[in-house]
Structure 1
């Protein structure tokens, strides 16, 4: 039964994406088939085999170790502030982002990350049938983040046609930044975080290939990565910059959580008082069919749908907190919804990505803003596809 529902889910995702495609005649089906098979195989290995569990446990243990080091810095500055026996969300989940950001800066400065990202991207371009730039950008987005990734290709941003610019932005919205992966792992099971990272990478190519199909000529398929390192900037200047960037991310996420959680509580109160049903419950009914085709049992689909909707209208952190409050959900539902939540597919990301591109090229930033809703649609389809594939093995 789960297999039939998964097939139905994949067909619905493909049908909706095909209906919104900008040029159906140019869709290339062979790379799509290859990537779907790869998604299924990777989900099987990561979620259903001993080797996959070993890899995920190793990955999670690395982040556990890094977060323990981060805790040393947090405790040094904030030790004694927290109430005994309590773990404030900002201190334990968000502030470690500062340390992870510093590590990313070091790897970027020493040219280790650019080397890894570039050549993984080149290998992926052979599989997905897309350009080298698009493949590089997808990998880079998963490590550098949805804003920072555009800096590394800023030389090419101004010359990109609309269809290629869309694919770059779609990759940035479909993935998550490595600097906050550790924070996710403290809120949901690490194996679902890792599975989502891998599945979203290929899912982004699949959805973009249907929604925005095109071919890149050899003359156009040139990858020129802008190096961030500046001779005028010393190692410690770079380190200070990345540490401050990480702190800014933590503060921004905290501010958005305060605002969105409070607003959702207000809206829930208004809806409950007027209509006798909360705003979350109403959204849950809207998203329940999508939760069902992802593999969520129908009796839990409304609750799952409300969490999915919260992720879209606010962000993944708010939704993960809400998921933790639903203690009555089955392990299968928690796993499927967890995979869905690991992406930047929400309304606020439209502004973040458009702003990042506009900061490099104002004209292209305006182009991105115009296809913002299409970006959100595509990224949401990626999340549904990844969760559906993962549901086969949960």
Structure 2
């Protein structure tokens, strides 16, 4: 029964997105069905085959190795802390980001990461027959994060109309940056994190092409190739990367502390009106219908709904920290769908980041950035829909 509910959830989410689309007649279903087929095959390969499991384990081992390398640097600065049997979140999950950001920038410096993005983006465009720029962008944001990926294509964004600009805003809600994967892996099972990443990439394309379908002429379906500029020297590049990584750590830490404190204050406020009433309970009721469609039992439905609300209102880090403390008492299916749902940047603060990035890019034409402010609801709906679809697809294979 729960399997059928999980399967029904996929159709319900797509139906809701289709109803929200203002241009229903323009939706092209063939590429969407092709992408769904690719997703099912990919998910089956990752979760049901020995080769897929082997690949995921090797990728997870690679990121574990990156984290261990980062730990050597942290231990040099904080030797007494790293000797403790239990290490605080700041040291175990956040500080390793400094090294991971630097490592990914080294891959970019030598052209390795751009080459991977180019080849995978080309393959997705060929298979789905969706626009090249959108296909490449879905891969870029998977590795780089939303604001970084938007910055990479900023010169081409300047030439696009409002409809296509909105498409990139919608897709940006479902990104995840490779630089913080180590932090995720310290809290939730790696297998489901690495399943979520490619599924989010493809589902972002699907949802964007239903919620905001755009017709593009063949002559306009091009990728902007910026002129080659002189690179900074290698050591200047990696030094700057380390500073960027440290800034990212500070921002995430501030958000975690601030949102946890804000949640505590809200719970205290709600407690004045009803004993035991918390923001988590309110969220659990609000999102319970969607959690139910993940094929969960009654108790797990309410808990995962609570995680959904926490992620949307705050961020995925806080929700993952909560999930980590419940891993030993939840069943395999619940852990899988919850982890996949949480593995993305879909929340209110991400909208602010996207809007700020657009403002920065369109300084000479600020009216262009207004397209994000006018369509906040589309960004929120798309972010939730992508996370739900990815979780439902993984849920079909994990029981």
TM-score when normalising by structure 1: 0.96
The residue number in structure 1 matching 2:232 is 233
Contact 2:81 2:87 in 1 (8 A): no
Structure-2 separation of matches of 1:376 and 1:128 = 25
The residue number in structure 2 matching 1:275 is 274
Contact 1:130 1:216 in 2 (8 A): no
The residue number in structure 1 matching 2:346 is 345
Structure-2 separation of matches of 1:241 and 1:70 = 17
The residue number in structure 2 matching 1:148 is 148
1:359-385 CA-partner distances (Å, limit 9, x unpaired): 111323332232222112111100001
Q: CA deviation at 1:83?
A: 7.7
Structure-2 separation of matches of 1:128 and 1:194 = 22
The residue number in structure 2 matching 1:333 is 334
> Aligned match of 2:385 in 373, 381, 385?
381
Query: What pairs with 1:217-228 in structure 2 (closer than 5 Å)?
Result: 217-226=217-226
Q: CA deviation at 1:230?
A: 4.3
Q: CA deviation at 1:82?
A: 6.0
1:226 to 1:141, Cα distance in 2 relative to 1, 3 A: farther
Structure-1 separation of matches of 2:343 and 2:233 = 35
1:63 to 1:131, Cα distance in 2 relative to 1, 3 A: same
Structure-2 separation of matches of 1:29 and 1:286 = 31
The residue number in structure 2 matching 1:199 is 199
CA RMSD of aligned residues (A): 1.6
Point out where structure 2 has 5 or more consecutive residues left out of the alignment.
none
Local SS of the residue matching 2:232: coil
Q: CA deviation at 1:343?
A: 0.6
The residue number in structure 1 matching 2:75 is 75
Q: CA deviation at 1:298?
A: 2.4
Structure-2 separation of matches of 1:305 and 1:293 = 11
> Aligned match of 2:369 in 365, 370, 394?
365
Contact 1:130 1:215 in 2 (8 A): no
Structure-2 separation of matches of 1:83 and 1:182 = 20
Structure-1 separation of matches of 2:16 and 2:225 = 34
Structure-2 separation of matches of 1:339 and 1:201 = 13
Q: Which stretch shifts more, 60-69 or 213-222? A: 213-222
Contact 1:32 1:206 in 2 (8 A): yes
1:224-262 CA-partner distances (Å, limit 9, x unpaired): 1447x7426221111111111111111100110000011
Structure-1 separation of matches of 2:350 and 2:283 = 20
Aligned pair count? Answer: 393
Contact 2:31 2:130 in 1 (8 A): no
Q: CA deviation at 1:8?
A: 1.3
Query: What pairs with 1:40-119 in structure 2 (closer than 5 Å)?
Result: 40-81=40-81, 84-119=84-119
The residue number in structure 2 matching 1:263 is 262
Contact 1:134 1:164 in 2 (8 A): no
The residue number in structure 2 matching 1:302 is 302
Contact 2:2 2:296 in 1 (8 A): no
Q: CA deviation at 1:81?
A: 4.2
